[in-house]
A and B are shown apart, each in its own frame.
Chain A
Amino acid sequence: MTRIVVVTSGKGGVGKTTSSASFSSGLAMRGYKTAVIDFDVGLRNLDLIMGCERRVVYDFVNVIQGEATLNQALIKDKNLENLFILPASQTRDKDALSQEGVEKVINDLKEMGFDYIICDSPAGIETGALLAAYFADDALVVTNPEVSSVRDSDRILGILASKSRRAVMGETPVKEFLLLTRYNPKRVENGEMLSLQDIEDILRIKLIGVIPESESVLQASNQGLPAIHIKESDVSEAYQDVVARYLGEEKPLRFTSYQKPSLLKRWLGGK
Chain B
Amino acid sequence: MSFLSFLLGEKKNSANVAKERLRIILAHERLNGDNGTSDYLPQLQKELMEVISKYVKINPEDIKVNLERQGQLEVLEVKIEMQQKA
Contact = CB atoms under 8 A, between A and B. Distances in A.
A219 B14 CA distance: 30
A105 interface: no
B29 interface: yes
A109 interface: no
A264 B26 CA distance: 45
B23 interface: yes
Contact of B14 (A155, A158, A191, A201): A191
Contacts of A151: 22, 25-26, 29
B15 A159 contact: no
B15 A198 contact: yes
B13 interface: yes
Of the four ranges (under 10, 10 to 19, 20 to 34, 35 or more), the interface on chain B belongs to 10 to 19
Contacts of B19: 194, 198, 201-202
Interface in B19-52: 19, 21-23, 25-26, 29-30, 33-34
Interface residues of A, number: 19
Interface string A137-168: 00000000011001100110011001100000
A193 interface: yes
Contacts of B29: 151, 154-155
B21 A147 contact: yes
B18 interface: yes
B16 to A, nearest CB: 7
Given A191-B16, A194-B15, A158 B30 contact: yes
Contacts of B25: 151
A54 B46 CA distance: 60
A85 to B, nearest CB: 32
Contact of A162 (B13, B21, B26, B34): B34
B15 A147 contact: no
Nearest to B12: A191
Interface string A166-199: 0000000000000000000000100111110010
Interface of B: 13-16, 18-19, 21-23, 25-26, 29-30, 33-34
The 6 closest A-B pairs by CB, nearest first: A191-B13, A198-B19, A191-B15, A147-B18, A154-B26, A162-B34
